[in-house]
Structure 1
Amino acid sequence: MSVGVWDLMELVPMRCRWIERLRHCGKTLLRRQRRLIRRLKKMYLHSWRSDELSMLVGAKTTGATPLVIACRNGHYDVAEYLIERCKADIEQPGSVTFDGETIEGAPPLWCAAAAGHLPLVRLLVRAGANVNSTTRTHSTPLRAACFDGHFVIVKFLVENGADIEIANRHGHTCLMIACYKGHIHIAKYLLSLNADVNRKSVKGNTALHDCAESGSLHILKMLLGHGATMDVDSYGMTPLLAASVTGHTHIVEHLINVEYGLVTRQQRIDALELLGATYVDKRRDMVGALALWKRAMDDRFPADGSEPIPKPKDIPRIEAYDYAVEPSDAQQLEELLADPDAMRMQALVIRERILGPAHPDTSYYVRYRGAVYADAGRFARCRQLWHHALDMQRAVLPPLSPLTQSSLYSFAELFSYMLAERARPPLRGRIVPPVTFEDIDPVFRKALSEIDRGMALLDSKISIDREHTLTTLQRVLVISLHLAALMAKLLEEPECTEEVSKKIHKAVYSLVKLDIKVRQGRSALHVACSPEGGRARGAAWGEAACPALVALMLRLGAAPDARDADGNTPLHLVCKLNPCPAEVVRELLTHGAHIDTVNYEGETPEEILKSTQQSLSAIVNPLKYTTLKCLAARTVKNYRLPYRHVVPQCLHSTIITH
């Protein structure tokens, strides 16, 4: 007998009530279980001696002590027990994660304040915690509370002696972070305490800059009411230009209002023109951009007869921008609207003129426009713009800058994409042009030039973080090797002429002869034979070790028996790959690598292969690459025969390597 619809409707709420009862019972049992576990822990810890307890509560798990973990996660009863019964050190810092970022050296009070746990903050302060303790980046608990807008905690910390003017390592104060995050109540409170409204960070920005970037008009008005001034940062940016770059029209309109008299006429013109460029690139609003540029033009040539301010005439025309020239009157501006490409080039020209090549946004939007062209299949225009951005970066940025690395990496990705698309059937009739040596070579030369600058930096007497410099140098080397691998693959194409072949050999030889050493003392061939040689930033670039590139480097004189800091040769590193590229192994052995060379751990390439469940005999015939000299050296080594005064000096190194 089937159940009717009305019967089902009566059963559903009954079923839901039972589910709710079961869920409630489950929660009650879970709470009881947790209370029981806490009681057992306390009973267990009560039996420990004080020195044992001190060692226990001071131990770190994943970089954090029990007290730091309890404060980060808001476990008041645990923290109270650790402080009062276990006498945990309330200042012992640890590592914690907030929003995916690891904070090193964070004291318990900083963790509680950052996470917004007011009861824990009160507990720690009552226990005598230093309210001005800092993390490794010099961030205080007060600044941590300001970051996420925990107003009650901010007020409590200040009332208990927290210094509102302690800045982090970047020079950012509590007022700056409150303004940037838009926490109006905290900003108002700090201003009531006479916080320094015009204090500058390491890069020269003030709280007014941060407010203009975040777009909070109410806080901006408060800052101006407390005497904030229009200072410039290290890039020459005023808060007005900062608002124009980020596209906060309401901030710009407030600051350029003639009644306030905050800015000059020239500053107002620059702000309107830069805001128009932001409308083009960020909002894709051509009509809005044109209206802003018209207002700027009217300010340049006012109808009231004031002295005009024409645009600079000595600005060079740039090929990457299609030799675009800025309009000098309203009619030329009107003509721009009919040509969207011309509008986009105007935005780039204006941004470079006002911000200058050193500002990150200048090169960013040039690269962005190039990427848009690449998506549309206009690869030549993309490369043209990206070369201009790369040249700007190399001219003004220090060696091995992350921005320069990013530009080089984008070129490598573009060429890889083009090659991959050519190998597939055309999509909707879209034909991708071939990648030629002439496309890759200019980028490759710029990458090598960046490596040269990095090596010069390492050799100089300037105080630098050597390990960090070696890491960034290796990243540029990886990109250079990828570009070299693309050129090596061109040699395999049937249409590769003898002239192009010579150019490729000459280009790759310029990399080999650098004799570069990066992290762990690895050479360029080491890196080419390691996983890093085929991947960068987690993005796969095809093979882990490109056989064509390795073969080319070996033919051009790369040392197959070079050792890194761990005694590994390139063959050792190749054998660590799974699967191991057989072609690369054969190339290394053919060019003189020893199959039985041991690293400083005493491992041969064959033993490394076995550890990854691979077999050397499945790749090559070991006997083919084993010489009598190798067998003799291994015999001397294995049987520990005395050889110092028996074997000629020239053979000592052979015995040692085996």
Structure 2
Amino acid sequence: MDHLKWAIFHAAKEGKLNQLKGILASKSSSQVRALTSGKVEGSTPLITASREGHLEVVQYLIVKCHADMHQRGSVVFDGETIEDAPPLWCAAAAGHFSIVKCLVQHKADPNCTTQTNSTPLRAACFDGHLGIVKYLLEHKADIEIANRHEHTCLMIACYKGHTEIVRTLLESGASVNRCSVKRNTALHDCAENGSVAIAKLLLRYGARTQQDGHGMTPLMTAAVAGHIQLTEYFSAIPETPKMERINAIELLGATFLDKRHDMTSAHQFWRRAITLRYVLIGKTLGSPLREAPTSHIPAYGNINEPKTISELEEVRSDPEKCRIIALLIRERVLGPKHPDTSYYIRYRGAVYADSGDFEKCVKLWMYALDMQRGNLEPLYPMTLSSLLSFAELFSFMQQHRSHMSSSVPKANHKQIMEVLKRAAWELLLGHDMLIKATNKDSGKCNQRVYRAMVIILHLTALSDNVLHDKSVTPEQLKESVNHRGFLLYQLRDVRDHCNRTLLHLASSSRACPLGRYPVTKFPSPAVADILLNCGFDPNVKDYEGKTPLHLAAETAGDDPKSSIATLNHLLESGGHIDMNDGKGKCILDITNKSLHPKINRTKHETLQCLASRVIMRHRLPYKEVIPTNMHQFVALH
């Protein structure tokens, strides 16, 4: 049956109608329904035929095979997998007008949705299929159904720059000032695209220039995107505050410098902004403009924004200062909470690293990390990305690779400890947030906790690697080890989405992938030993009833030497050799018998353990016979 499903699916995908008819001709109606509704590669014959534009196949499947019009499946568009996509959505997204008509005429729901709540109308708006948009609207497609982010059809049409579709949606009554989850409106999406024509349309239909969730107006959004004409258009609106116009011009300069590497245009924008500031306050060009507070930001080299034309001219020939000025402008105008602010600080740091100046890179990245931690919720994806970048950078430095014809310095133990400290506090806060999270948010939080745990393990391994360097004094070693122990001790009760501790992850090769320049492999006897010395329990179980010993035993076939060393560390720290997991297996049941001689069974298997196993194996009543404080010990066996 499976080979027939495969043949039918591929005949539908390739538009081979006669082949499809030949396969199904001799089948009963129930067999036909089963064969045409079965999924191959996550999709069905009707879905794939609708996606690929085979009208005759679609008609045959609907009329002769009575295929379900609302079946769901996976399809790929522009390299992205769309889950739970119905046939009508696929046809609309791909622009197959005739198939859209066929499906609607056979009672397909014009408001059917994908997993992300995207409708066929939204799919047509995305790719600019005007005819399909008009047809769906004529057949009762709901113009206001938004996706899971509350992003509407009008918003996506504006973002993609489809002017005529925007016009059609507005004429059909689309809500012009509706907000998404991030509080952006269609005018913000238009600003991202840069279309003056669409902006005029939206304003004609009553669009308001309000702020989004980051405090950005459409004018500021256009400036950040580098759209000069649209920035000028929004600036010319009489209601636009004069200071906002000046800030937009300054942002244009920062954008041209960082995104387009056009320093000449950046200076022209900044010069114009300074001139407008003088006009705004009614002072003569060149006179003292304002008493701007001095930044004194070490990460920026204590560089300040120029306040006069002469100060701007002084830095014109210094590209490095100009790039720092762009960062200062972005931080002042957008604020530290805006993602672009920390993004460009990190970008500038990465440029320094590429040129071999790792010290400046670390300073900028640390500044960006502190900015993110101070302004974003714990374990925010951007913060985790910054921590991961640090781990990768330190790993690269520690490997001491030749880079840009210069010798790469090894990672500094103080820098690693500073990042480890921030990662540990971030994980603690994130874990507390997870405990308080609703069921809806817990999955997202759990995955972030896991990512942070993996990063911390690699930072721990890096710290151990660096602290054994000859350049580290005994006093520095003692201080750093004590500091690291204090940080890790507080993470003993942190669990990931599988209820695993850091010790679980350190004991498994399958749980700790990270980055391009790993300096250690897991399971890691060294990291496990560090965690055990910090008070981690080797007998704590995850949701599958597995202890760190079980995870080490499971991966013994991948790396016997590290796994056995880790197992012995765990056993010497009080791990129970005969503790069963959720399937009733102990580590000796899991580990290859050829490795058993390397595990000192007699040293770690006590008489108490043997007695407990006999009690559990023969289901002997024990709770009324032995002390209460022994009940849990027996049950573990």
- Which of 277, 282, 286 is the matching residue for 2:254? 277
1:329 and 2:301 correspond: no
What is the aligned partner in structure 1 of residue 415 from structure 2? 439
Note the C-alpha offset of 1:601: 0.9
What is the aligned partner in structure 1 of residue 67 from structure 2? 88
State whether residues 458 and 469 of structure 1, in contact with CA within 8 Å, keep that contact through their aligned partners in structure 2: yes
Q: 1:149-174 CA deviation, whole Å, 9 max, x = no partner?
A: 12221121122222323322322222
Note the C-alpha offset of 1:632: 4.4
What is the aligned partner in structure 2 of residue 10 from structure 1? none
Local SS of the residue matching 1:592: coil
State whether residues 128 and 162 of structure 2, in contact with CA within 8 Å, keep that contact through their aligned partners in structure 1: yes
**Separation of aligned partners in 2, 1:177 and 1:80:** 31
Superposition pairs of residues 73-472 of structure 1, within 5 angstroms: 73-256=52-235, 258=236, 261=238, 263-302=240-279, 310=289, 313-314=292-293, 316-421=295-400, 424=401, 430-460=406-436, 464-472=440-448
Note the C-alpha offset of 1:464: 4.9
Q: 1:264-288 CA deviation, whole Å, 9 max, x = no partner?
A: 3222211111111112211222222
Which TM-score applies when normalising by structure 1?
0.86
- Which of 493, 496, 500 is the matching residue for 1:518? 496
Q: 1:160-190 CA deviation, whole Å, 9 max, x = no partner?
A: 2223233223222222211211223322333
Distance 1:640 1:391, change over 3 A: same
Note the C-alpha offset of 1:306: 7.2
Distance 1:633 1:229, change over 3 A: closer
**Separation of aligned partners in 1, 2:598 and 2:49:** 54
Q: 1:457-497 CA deviation, whole Å, 9 max, x = no partner?
A: 13337675222212211111111121112122234334433
Letter in 2 for 1:443: V
- Structure 1 gap segments, 5+ residues each: 1-29
State whether residues 399 and 410 of structure 2, in contact with CA within 8 Å, keep that contact through their aligned partners in structure 1: no
What is the aligned partner in structure 2 of residue 14 from structure 1? none
Distance 1:493 1:221, change over 3 A: same
**Separation of aligned partners in 2, 1:528 and 1:271:** 49
- Which of 2, 10, 24 is the matching residue for 1:42? 24
Distance 1:54 1:34, change over 3 A: closer
Letter in 2 for 1:522: R
Distance 1:76 1:654, change over 3 A: same
- Structure 2 gap segments, 5+ residues each: 1-11
**Runs of at least 4 residues of structure 1 off by over 6 A?**
30-33, 306-309
State whether residues 85 and 113 of structure 2, in contact with CA within 8 Å, keep that contact through their aligned partners in structure 1: yes
Q: 1:320-343 CA deviation, whole Å, 9 max, x = no partner?
A: 222222212110010011222211
What is the aligned partner in structure 2 of residue 588 from structure 1? 570
Distance 1:428 1:248, change over 3 A: closer
Letter in 2 for 1:460: K
Deviates more, 1:148-157 or 1:632-641: 632-641
State whether residues 509 and 553 of structure 1, in contact with CA within 8 Å, keep that contact through their aligned partners in structure 2: no
Superposition pairs of residues 485-496 of structure 1, within 5 angstroms: 485-496=461-472
Note the C-alpha offset of 1:205: 1.8
Distance 1:297 1:513, change over 3 A: closer
Note the C-alpha offset of 1:409: 0.9
What is the aligned partner in structure 2 of residue 556 from structure 1? 534
Letter in 1 for 2:575: A
**Separation of aligned partners in 2, 1:233 and 1:428:** 42
Local SS of the residue matching 2:594: coil
Note the C-alpha offset of 1:399: 1.7
Letter in 1 for 2:500: R
**Separation of aligned partners in 1, 2:443 and 2:143:** 35
**Separation of aligned partners in 2, 1:319 and 1:554:** 38
State whether residues 249 and 273 of structure 2, in contact with CA within 8 Å, keep that contact through their aligned partners in structure 1: yes
Note the C-alpha offset of 1:523: 1.4
What is the aligned partner in structure 1 of residue 520 from structure 2? 542
Local SS of the residue matching 1:615: helix
State whether residues 532 and 573 of structure 2, in contact with CA within 8 Å, keep that contact through their aligned partners in structure 1: yes
**Separation of aligned partners in 2, 1:536 and 1:409:** 8
What is the aligned partner in structure 1 of residue 547 from structure 2? 569
State whether residues 17 and 57 of structure 2, in contact with CA within 8 Å, keep that contact through their aligned partners in structure 1: no
Letter in 1 for 2:527: L
Distance 1:187 1:633, change over 3 A: same
Superposition pairs of residues 617-632 of structure 1, within 5 angstroms: 617=596, 619-632=598-611
Letter in 2 for 1:473: V
Letter in 2 for 1:482: H
Deviates more, 1:179-188 or 1:335-344: 179-188
Note the C-alpha offset of 1:594: 2.9
Distance 1:596 1:304, change over 3 A: closer
**Separation of aligned partners in 1, 2:575 and 2:280:** 80
Local SS of the residue matching 1:96: strand
Superposition pairs of residues 497-512 of structure 1, within 5 angstroms: 497-503=473-479, 504-512=481-489
Note the C-alpha offset of 1:448: 1.4
Note the C-alpha offset of 1:389: 1.1
Quote the sequence identity (%). 45
Note the C-alpha offset of 1:646: 6.1
Alpha carbon RMSD of aligned pairs, Å? 3.1
**Separation of aligned partners in 1, 2:264 and 2:173:** 44
Letter in 2 for 1:531: S
Distance 1:292 1:161, change over 3 A: same
State whether residues 482 and 533 of structure 1, in contact with CA within 8 Å, keep that contact through their aligned partners in structure 2: no
Note the C-alpha offset of 1:194: 4.4
Distance 1:322 1:87, change over 3 A: same
**Separation of aligned partners in 2, 1:432 and 1:316:** 31
**Separation of aligned partners in 1, 2:576 and 2:143:** 65
**Separation of aligned partners in 2, 1:326 and 1:491:** 40
Aligned length: 619
State whether residues 113 and 121 of structure 1, in contact with CA within 8 Å, keep that contact through their aligned partners in structure 2: yes
State whether residues 405 and 476 of structure 1, in contact with CA within 8 Å, keep that contact through their aligned partners in structure 2: yes
Higher gyration radius (CA): 1
Which TM-score applies when normalising by structure 2?
0.89
Q: 1:567-599 CA deviation, whole Å, 9 max, x = no partner?
A: 111111112221232322222222222333321
Note the C-alpha offset of 1:618: 6.4
What is the aligned partner in structure 2 of residue 599 from structure 1? 581
Local SS of the residue matching 1:195: coil
Note the C-alpha offset of 1:508: 2.9
Letter in 1 for 2:251: L
Note the C-alpha offset of 1:633: 4.2
State whether residues 489 and 548 of structure 1, in contact with CA within 8 Å, keep that contact through their aligned partners in structure 2: no
**Separation of aligned partners in 1, 2:619 and 2:549:** 25
Q: 1:528-578 CA deviation, whole Å, 9 max, x = no partner?
A: 212365323788563022221111111222111211111111111112221
**Separation of aligned partners in 1, 2:292 and 2:467:** 48
Deviates more, 1:497-506 or 1:598-607: 497-506
